[in-house]
A and B are shown apart, each in its own frame.
Chain A
Amino acid sequence: MSNYDSSAIQEFNGGVWVFCEQRQGAMMSTSYELISEGRRLANELGTKLYGLLLGSGIEGLAKELGGYGADGVYVCDHPLLANYTTDGYTKVICDVIRAYKPEVMLIGATNIGRDLGPRCAARLHTGLCADCTHLDIDMGIYKDFLHSASTLPADKIDALNTAMVMGEKHDVSRDLKMTRPAFGGHLMASIICPRFRPAMATVRPGVMKKAAFDQAKADACEIIKPEFSLTQDDLETEVVEVVKAAKKLVDLIGADVVVSVGRGISKDVEGGIKLAEELAEVLGGVVGSSRAVVDSGWISADHQVGQTGKTVHPKIYIALGISGAIQHKAGMQDSECIIAVNKNDTAPIFEIADYGICGDLFKVTPLLIEAIKAAKAAK
């Protein structure tokens, strides 16, 4: 006899689901990332992948999700879903989940996803793993990941097949293993949700790779319109207005090259940012920053890289006058090539930099711009 009843979770055979967030009729790019990742998980589970799309007049966005791997999309179209409200979206999502019983539910860890996910998980009585950066079903792939991304001893990883759940050994091979940073990135944890379904995760935007788009699959994508009920009385919050930031935001996540500035620019803030812009321009990149620069009011928050900013993995990341605090590293350490300029040779950023120059960024950056221009011209 088991200490807990696992029969209930077997009913949840409705596939892997991805909540596909759209804002004002525009799909969030993280929805495509999660569909692409969800495809892999669904294959490993031998089940289907569905998108879940809520909004008003948004059915036209659904088929495209098929092009990234969705077998079908559940579309919930209603005037009261035009703007995101916690109450409206939670009600519809929970009703549809109870009816169709997905095994896994992924949500982008955006400001909206992290509002919606916990509310749904609490209502459905299931577990939710926050802000995941790695997801696995297949044990072989999961262990390979641990071998390369953790400091756990190899024999400990190889022996990791069960977990103690309610006082007994539980085989984790079919559980979604959800890996996430905690303690400001100092610690990683793999979380499972063995006794309840769906296993839910919010997933950090920019981390999962978007698959190549396939028009034939988009054409074949099934559209399902589930029944649900929603009335004005269900909404206890009222959205008075939605204001988009006036300025065009920097596309840090999609950039191949990011040149970031830190507090090291303080003696000439404008000059420092201008140098970063020039360097970014010759490399075809964009300007990012540490949080110190945002907190000082020198640059807008959309530039911030790090734990509480954006996670980037460009081909080249250049850090100018950034010390390399763990919260900053959390957002950029997976960049293909990291170049750091810092006047302090013990700055922690040098511990992860592929190439480091110890010097004054105001002197080094202009020389580097010139040298890169010359190298490009010589090609």
Chain B
Amino acid sequence: MKIIVCVKQVPDTSGKVAVNPDGTLNRASMATITNPDDLNAVEAALQLKEETGAQVIVVSMGPPPAEGMLREILARSADKAVLVSGREFGGSDTYATSQILAAAINKIGLEDDDVVFCGRQAIDGDTAQVGPQIAEKLGLPQVSYAADIHKEGDTLTIKRMLEDGYMTIKVHTPCLITCIKELNTPRYMSVGGVFEAYSKPYEVLDYNALKDDPLIDPSTIGLKGSPTNILTSFTPPQKGAGMMLEGADRATCEKLAGIMAAKHMI
């Protein structure tokens, strides 16, 4: 049994985000991190490995520096890492990204008792589309928003979160699951793990390595294979600061209540 985990390296958008004058993001000025939901996906895979002895393979599409992130995940006791990297893959929207990642998973070899894990959503593109689209390209059943996973034989029972509750869903392997932060608490790297990370198998798949897969076609990958185009991007204007009321005492509150009454808010 193998567990294949898709992980993306992303800019850390939680702090200050620098924007260029032309409205694009200044990625160079931002620290890169492993996408948070993907760490939950890795943790879910490692827990299943502990239960079943499965092999955990992490896959990422991105530029070569993503190797650092992949080594860190190997240090959390994943078994193998695969970096999918090539100029031909650049500019892909989620449709094209899922074509490429599905081809990489085909290359790794998907067997009947395997499971693919993704994070629910990447914090940069923010679409949550890549997981379900990989599942479609591989013809796998999918369960998204997983908050709890139990495996017995070839059946997984999954708690799938909804806004107003949850569903319990049964699905058989092979399947694809997208993970949310409620699923678990990711472990840290171990000292021994960091040491071993550099001797574990690490493979780079470029365009030539994948080009024989029917999913890889100039009309379905990269910028030209992407059905969507970005017409323009921009930053929203800051709403002009309002009025700071003086003080924080009874008189201040009475003034505010007075304004609210005058504006018919109360």
Binding site for B on A (CB under 8 A): 23, 83-84, 86-87, 90, 110-112, 114-115, 117-119, 121-123, 125-131, 146, 149-152, 160, 163-166, 172, 177, 180-196, 236-245, 249, 283, 302, 315-316, 325-327, 333, 337-339, 341, 345, 350-360, 363-364, 367-368, 370-372, 374-376, 378-379
State whether A371 touches B133 (Cβ < 8 A).
Answer: no
A182 touches B266 (CB 8 A): no
A172 cross-chain contacts in B, Cβ below 8 A: 231
Q: How far is the CA of A376 from the CA of B265 in the complex (A)?
A: 10
Bound-state Cα–Cα, A141 to B185, Å: 46
Q: Are A375 and B98 in contact (CB under 8 A)?
A: no
Residue of A86, A110, A127, A240 with highest tally of chain B CB at under 10 A: A86
- Most B CB contacts (10 A, CB to CB) among A181, A186, A352, A376 go to A186
B243 nearest in chain A by CB position: A355
Partner of B124, one of A180, A182, A242: A182
| Residue B164, interface by CB 8 Å | yes
Nearest A residue to B143, CB-CB: A237
Q: For residue B238, which residues in chain A have a CB less than 8 angstroms away from its CB?
A: 351-352
- Least distance between A367 CB and chain B CB atoms (Å): 4
In the complex, residue of chain B having the shortest beta-carbon distance to the beta carbon of A244: B165
Interface string of B121-141 (1 = CB under 8 A from A): 001111111111101110001
- A237-B171, A238-B171 known; A188-B229 Cβ under 8 A: no
Does A129 lie within 8 Å of B228, measured CB to CB?
A: yes
Asked if A121 contacts B133 (CB within 8 A), the reply is yes
**A311 CB to nearest B CB, Å:** 12
CB of A184 within 8 A of CB of B94, answer no
B32 within 8 A of A: no
Partner of A352, one of B123, B227, B231, B241: B241
Complex-state Cα separation, A160 to B164, whole angstroms = 41
Q: Which residues of B contact A192 (CB under 8 A)?
A: 228-229, 231
Tell me, rounded to whole Å, the shortest Cβ–Cβ distance linking A46 to chain B.
22
Besides A115-B132, A150-B237, 7 other A-B contacts (C-beta < 8 A): A121-B227, A122-B137, A127-B93, A181-B126, A333-B239, A351-B239, A353-B242
CA distance A187 to B248 in the complex (A): 35
A356 to chain B, nearest CB (A): 5
- Tell me which of A128, A186, A351 contacts B94 (CB under 8 A): A128
Query: Can you list 13 A-B contacts (CB < 8 A)?
Result: A86-B143, A110-B162, A111-B161, A118-B133, A122-B132, A127-B95, A128-B94, A188-B233, A192-B231, A194-B229, A238-B171, A368-B257, A370-B253
Name B227's contact: one of A114, A196, A379 (CB within 8 Å).
A196
Q: State in angstroms the CA–CA spacing of A122 and B97 once bound together.
A: 11
- A127-B228, A195-B227 given; A186·B13 CB < 8 A: yes
- Residues of B contacting A372 with CB < 8 Å? 257, 260, 266
What residues of chain A lie closer than 8 Å to B95, measured between beta carbons? 121-122, 125, 127-128
Closest to B232 in A: A190
Contacts of B248 in A (CB 8 A): 341, 357-360, 363-364
B240-258 CB mask vs A (1 if < 8 Å, else 0) is: 0111110111101110111
Q: Is the pair B129, A238 in contact by a Cβ cutoff of 8 Å?
A: no
Query: Which has the most chain A C-beta neighbours within 10 Å: B93, B133, B163, B166?
Result: B163
Contact A374 B169 (CB under 8 A): no
Query: With the chains together, A180 CA to B13 CA distance in Å?
Result: 16
- Is B33 an interface residue, CB under 8 A from the partner? no
- CA–CA, A100 and B208, complex, Å: 40
Find out whether the CB atom of B265 lies under 8 angstroms from the CB atom of A240.
no
Tell whether, in the assembled complex, residue A131 and residue B25 are in contact, meaning their CB atoms are under 8 Å apart.
no
- Tell me how many residue pairs across A and B have CB atoms closer than 8 Å: 280
Pairwise interchain contact A118-B94, C-beta atoms closer than 8 A? yes
B141–A86 CB distance below 8 A: yes
Instruction: Kindly report which residue of chain B lies nearest to residue A181, judged by CB atoms.
Output: B126
> Cα distance A192–B231 when bound, in Å?
6
Q: Which residues of A contact B25 (CB under 8 A)?
A: 183, 186-187
Q: Mark B200-244, 1 if CB is under 8 A from A, else 0.
A: 000000000000000000000000101111111111111101111
A-facing residues in B83-102 (Cβ within 8 Å): 93-95, 98
Tell me the nearest residue of chain B to A189, going by C-beta: B233
Query: B244–A358 contact, CB under 8 A?
Result: yes
Q: Is the CB of B234 within 8 A of A243?
A: no
The minimal Cβ–Cβ distance linking B9 to chain A, given in whole angstroms, is 14
Closest A residue, CB atoms, query B93: A127
C-alpha gap A374/B236 in the complex (Å): 38
Q: Do the beta carbons of A152 and B259 come within 8 Å of each other?
A: no
Q: Which residues of A contact B253 (CB under 8 A)?
A: 357, 364, 367-368, 370-371
Task: From known contacts A114-B128, A237-B141, infer whether A355 and B237 are also in contact, taking CB-CB under 8 Å.
Answer: no
Q: How far is the CA of A180 from the CA of B231 in the complex (A)?
A: 12
Partner of A191 from the list B228, B242, B249 (CB cut-off 8 Å) is B228
- A118 proximity list for chain B (CB < 8 A): 94, 127-133, 136
Inter-subunit contact A149/B237 (CB<8 Å): yes
The chain A residue with its CB closest to the CB of B178 is A115
Tell me the smallest distance from the CB of A303 to a CB of chain B, in Å.
12
